[in-house]
Chains A and B, each alone.
Chain A
Amino acid sequence: MTLAIDVRGLNKHFGDKHVVQDLSLQVKQGEIFGFLGPNGSGKTTSIRMLCGLLTPDSGAGQCLGYDVIRETAAIKRHVGYMTQRFSLWEDLTIRENLDFIARMYGMKNRKQAVNAVLVKLGLDERRNQLAGALSGGWKQRLALAACMMHEPQLLLLDEPTAGVDPKARREFWDEIHQLAAQGISVLVSTHYMDEAERCHKLAYIARGKLLITGSAEEVIASQRLTAWEVSGAELQGLAEQLRHLPAVEQVTAFGSRLHVIGGDAALLEAALEPFRQLPGYQWQKIEAGLEDVFISLMERQNDQQEVV
């Protein structure tokens, strides 16, 4: 089994801010690896270090077998990197942008490749429109197509579907799975839980530290959260009361239902007992989801921070 990404102990500081701390990451060939974490946790910084756009302060490793510090030129040729912020040229047309990227990668059948991408995206008729005139979601889709054009072995995608509509998102993920089946590895950062669930493996990073890695099931299991669902009328007042219980970590409203989450099953059950006697509410024990796990992780980290 080959590793597409294999880095150990990567560190990055900006000034005296330690933005990425001892990052170690292994991504197998053909794997879709989801990279999650709150805003400002260091996802973009980590990805930039992987493709040679930032030099790590310390640490070592390989991408596609090339050294991340010394062989960045080779890495760039074989990796497709999609930036979080739209970074194609807004004053070039859609076709000119694709053509430029194709030239930079020295693609031989440039014209056909560009045309194929235009047709596939359904942008063929708008090929001569300036990229800056596209809507946010379309910009995102163009950027994605641009970074995949040179058929990279490894895709590093930084929030590729932010602002993209559900159908396009689904198509994108279908395509990612097809590529993975062909042996292409994908590291993708996202804030969407449904996308996280479609990854083979997940990593959760907070304040520059990698906290958990594993499949969605493993991640959920590792946190041992207990979840209850309540439905009924007048949930707002109930939610307010539940939030004050020490055993309750999260109370989230979903339409006419509440999810109540706690870290300790016995404590939570005891704390909820009096409320379960109240008339007009149906209580039911459910499985905690990925989102519950991540929110609980974020909140625990915040609490720690306040103590420090």
Chain B
Amino acid sequence: MNPAASLARLWGIALKELVQLSRDRLTFGMIVGIPIMQLLLFGFAINSDPKHLPTAIQVQDNSVFTRTFIRSLENTGYFQIVQQVSSEAQANQLLAEGEVQFVVNIPPDFSRQLVRGERPIILLEADATDPAATSNALASLLTVGQSVLNRDLTGSLAKLRPSDAPFEVRVHRRYNAEGITQYNIVPGLMGVILTMTMVLMTGLAMTRERERGTFENLLATPAKPLEVMAGKIVPYIMIGLVQMTLILLAARFIFAVPFQGSLLLLYAVSLLFIAANLSLGMTFSTIARNQLQAMQMTFFFFLPSILLSGFMFPFRGMPGWAQVIGNGLPLTHFLRLVRGILLKGNDLVEIWPHVWPIMLFMTVIVALGAKFYKRTLD
């Protein structure tokens, strides 16, 4: 096998695909139209009420008041203490990696200040990238503050039992301080749009050849399966990057989404995500008998992607089985990557836990695609 000849054929196929694409007005319109339409449609938020959100606590004052506060926090149903942390740095890292949604910080002299009636401050840091996921939990905090310590404030302390809470919970929204839903939705849309268009377009690429009978001609030439597959993927990688740039421009200039992290890193992980989706489309394309089947497969994949990835509903609000499925989908990880990089300014080390699952997904899919690629007309 001659690599230069292989590359030349791959390029020939990519060129052909580009020319055909440029003559296909409808598809071309879709490439620009779908992102714009979805951006407009999803400009508004979709709310829900997730519970048992993972919470870390940093306790610097171990007293009966602290324990009661924490217990009642858990009793709201919204908070689930998963970890004790001992330093600010550790807390920050957990938030940045998305391990926890909240960090509760009880200050060192909480009890002393409370008893003196100085209204101590409990700091609650929230990962507010997805405002829908945190808003109800934060609302429930108000009632906690008002009633929780009444039982413990007895005897001479009873006078501290006012209508006003004896302490203050100060919420610190991280990453998306104003709780603007577009900050969350718009980066998410990038993943959704890429998933839909990339899988669909390559899904049709092979079946179109088969339906029109041109596959027979392609098969009769010396072009090898891998050359054909790769040649057909290349133009769509370019298209994916164009779409992504369109959405990023809209995010920046229409929705004013903050760009905290490295744009280069964002493009790098997007390239991986695009390639994963294209491989999936290619694999669908090799299995489907006609364009309709390829389309059905795409939607079969697209629905769970949009519903279970944390795009429509906050991931942590979903039942366990749904989270398991969600974790197998590249979109789930891509959403976290985009939000992490754009809103939190994550670096490669921080996002790695969501990079390898996409790589794994792609490896499995490419292997399947190569296995199912029909080298003959049988």
Interface residues of A (CB under 8 A from B): 48, 51-55, 72-73, 76-77, 79, 81, 83, 85-92, 96, 100-101, 103-106, 130, 147
Contact = CB atoms under 8 A, between A and B. Distances in A.
Contacts of A83: 213, 216-217, 220
A93 to B, nearest CB: 9
B212 A73 contact: no
Nearest to B218: A104
A55 B377 CA distance: 8
Given A77-B222, A103-B12, A105-B222, A88 B217 contact: yes
B223 A48 contact: no
Interface residues of B, number: 28
B378 interface: yes
Contact of A106 (B5, B16, B19, B213): B5
B156 interface: no
B168 to A, nearest CB: 68
Contact of A92 (B8, B19, B216, B222): B19
Given A48-B377, A92-B16, A96-B16, A104 B213 contact: no
A259 to B, nearest CB: 38
Interface in B339-378: 375-378
B221 interface: yes
A53 B16 contact: no
B140 to A, nearest CB: 59
B378 A54 contact: yes
Given A83-B216, A106-B5, A91 B221 contact: no
Given A48-B377, A92-B20, A100-B12, A87 B217 contact: yes
A103 B4 CA distance: 12
B297 interface: no
Contacts of B159: none
Given A91-B23, A100-B16, 10 more contacts: A48-B377, A73-B224, A79-B220, A83-B213, A83-B217, A85-B216, A87-B212, A103-B15, A104-B221, A147-B220
Given A55-B376, A87-B213, A92-B20, A81 B220 contact: yes
Nearest to B377: A53
Contact of B377 (A54, A72, A86): A54
Contacts of A105: 221-222
Contacts of A85: 213, 216
B212 A90 contact: yes
A196 B125 CA distance: 87
16 contacts: A51-B220, A52-B376, A53-B216, A53-B220, A53-B376, A53-B377, A54-B376, A76-B221, A87-B214, A87-B216, A88-B214, A91-B20, A91-B24, A92-B16, A103-B12, A105-B221
Interface string B201-229: 00000000000111111111111100000
A13 B204 CA distance: 29
Contacts of A90: 212
Interface in B210-261: 212-224
Contact of B222 (A48, A55, A76, A87): A76
B217 A55 contact: no
Contacts of B8: 103, 106
B119 interface: no
A54 B220 CA distance: 11
B9 interface: yes
Contact of B9 (A51, A53, A86, A106): A106
B221 A101 contact: yes
Best-surrounded residue of A73, A87, A147 (most CB of chain B within 10 A): A87
Contacts of B377: 48, 53-54
A97 B219 CA distance: 15
The 4 closest A-B pairs by CB, nearest first: A103-B12, A104-B221, A87-B217, A81-B220
Nearest to A78: B222
Contacts of B220: 51, 53, 76, 79, 81, 83, 147
Contacts of B213: 83, 85-87
B220 to A, nearest CB: 4
Contacts of B217: 83, 87-88, 101
B20 A53 contact: no
B20 A89 contact: yes
A79 B224 CA distance: 16
Contacts of A76: 220-222
A73 B222 contact: yes
B226 to A, nearest CB: 13
